[in-house]
Chains A and B, each alone.
Chain A
């Protein structure tokens, strides 16, 4: 894969955020990194680079450096490193990348940022995936997983004295990725990467901003489908935090993965990809079902239209069609039908009630006779898929085929429609079994007689 080109999005407060778009998968995926990143170098980093490539193989991946890190701006005021400003980094990047809606995958404090973003802009978030996240930095009686003062001081000491050296990562990796502590090449690469993510003062400012984070109140307001992932033996951030977070977000799914590595890209990263893919597939399946509905479809068209057009001439025929259309539309309005399409002299409409649809068809057939023309009409009820104002589905084909079989001033319906309107007072006559072109099975049709 070629390395994607780096571009800049600008936030509302004027901070330039570096981002990249990679891959062409069926959904947009925004990867929100932890405290530091560098989009230009992340692709070459062992474990991290291959993980990004895998994400780009299943989705249209959007990566960025959060304000203060990597090749994004250091905001002029340190206060604007605060978490609430960070959500605008995601918004600006999605807008610049042309993404209206995406799955947001957030790692560690990137997860908190993602959750706050999802709570603020639910319409932009298809699903939220949190990996090894936490909700509050400091220990509190009701948040026992936070760091106590001693731990914060110790971590601060390592950052101030050792940032940019291998010593820092040999210390930090003991908790974050124990399997990597003795891996000299990894430590060397990671040390260099971290220098290119943040300078010594920049990392102090980033860590200071993290200390203020307490996003607990936001979690119950997250309304998007959420998957919470955490490795069971993570020594850096205890898994119980994710258990708690999953309990706070309504309907969130928790999945505890085996292993001790804190980052998703170290250890069994394939499992992470698989769970992400599975979750997103289920969400997309569920969403496509939202757009399915049971409707009654009505197809009408003018009988002998070609002959009438020839005998009336273009102008006379167009006038007649206009009057016919006006009549059909008046009846659709009266019987609460929804016009989907008009092709030449035919109409395709949907109804949410089959009896009303039949009465509308009969009323149209009756009304257009005063214009000296006759229509044929066919109805069927079935599940269809709405795509904006368009309707698709096998039920549409069946309705069209039933309509084509009707004679002049005849309203034909499928067995399904007849069964649904039992007790409505409508009277039917058997119109025999028929093959419907392109549709399996034989279909028994009924003629409306009163």
Chain B
């Protein structure tokens, strides 16, 4: 699977939040990760990548 494209959402208080959407399943699934994350680099970590990539349509 290709690494999904990173985009930015902007919160009400003006913070840019980076996100990716991947997959095409029947439900949307938002994966809220633990205390430290990096959505660019996590796809290089095999366990995390396998876990995230197995989901239906998961914005992370």
Which A positions have Cβ atoms within 8 angstroms of B? 163-164, 192, 195-196, 199-201
Inter-subunit contact B18/A199 (CB<8 Å)? yes
Inter-subunit contact A200/B16 (CB<8 Å)? yes
Q: Which of B1-46 contact A (CB under 8 A)?
A: 6-8, 14-16, 18, 38, 40-41
**Partner pick for A192 among B7, B14, B16, B40, CB 8 A cutoff:** B40
Chain A residues whose CB sits within 8 angstroms of the CB of B6 once the complex forms: 164, 192, 195
Q: Looking at chain A's contact residues, is the secondary structure mostly helix, strand, loop, or mixed?
A: helix
Closest to B41 in A: A196
Inter-subunit contact B40/A164 (CB<8 Å)? no
Number of A-B contacts (CB under 8 A): 21
Inter-subunit contact B16/A195 (CB<8 Å)? no
Inter-subunit contact A195/B15 (CB<8 Å)? no
- Please give 16 more A-B residue pairs, beta carbons under 8 A apart, in addition to A164-B18, A196-B40: A163-B8, A164-B7, A164-B8, A192-B6, A192-B40, A195-B18, A195-B40, A196-B38, A196-B41, A199-B16, A199-B18, A200-B8, A200-B16, A201-B14, A201-B15, A201-B16
B44 to chain A, nearest CB (A): 10
A396 to chain B, nearest CB (A): 59
CA distance A321 to B8 in the complex (A): 83
CA distance A164 to B40 in the complex (A): 12
Chain B residues whose CB sits within 8 angstroms of the CB of A192 once the complex forms: 6, 40
Chain B residues whose CB sits within 8 angstroms of the CB of A163 once the complex forms: 8
Which B positions have Cβ atoms within 8 angstroms of A? 6-8, 14-16, 18, 38, 40-41
* Residue with the greatest number of chain A CB neighbours at <10 A, chosen from B7, B8, B14, B15: B8
CA distance A419 to B40 in the complex (A): 76
CA distance A278 to B6 in the complex (A): 43
Closest to B3 in A: A192
A114 to chain B, nearest CB (A): 30
6 nearest A-B pairs in the assembled complex, by CB-CB distance: A200-B16, A199-B16, A200-B8, A201-B16, A196-B40, A195-B6
B3 to chain A, nearest CB (A): 8
CA distance A53 to B10 in the complex (A): 38
CA distance A192 to B41 in the complex (A): 10
Chain B residues whose CB sits within 8 angstroms of the CB of A195 once the complex forms: 6, 18, 40
CA distance A200 to B15 in the complex (A): 9
CA distance A251 to B6 in the complex (A): 48
Chain A residues whose CB sits within 8 angstroms of the CB of B7 once the complex forms: 164
Closest to A199 in B: B16
Chain A residues whose CB sits within 8 angstroms of the CB of B16 once the complex forms: 199-201
CA distance A199 to B8 in the complex (A): 9
Chain A residues whose CB sits within 8 angstroms of the CB of B15 once the complex forms: 201
Chain A residues whose CB sits within 8 angstroms of the CB of B8 once the complex forms: 163-164, 199-200
A395 to chain B, nearest CB (A): 60
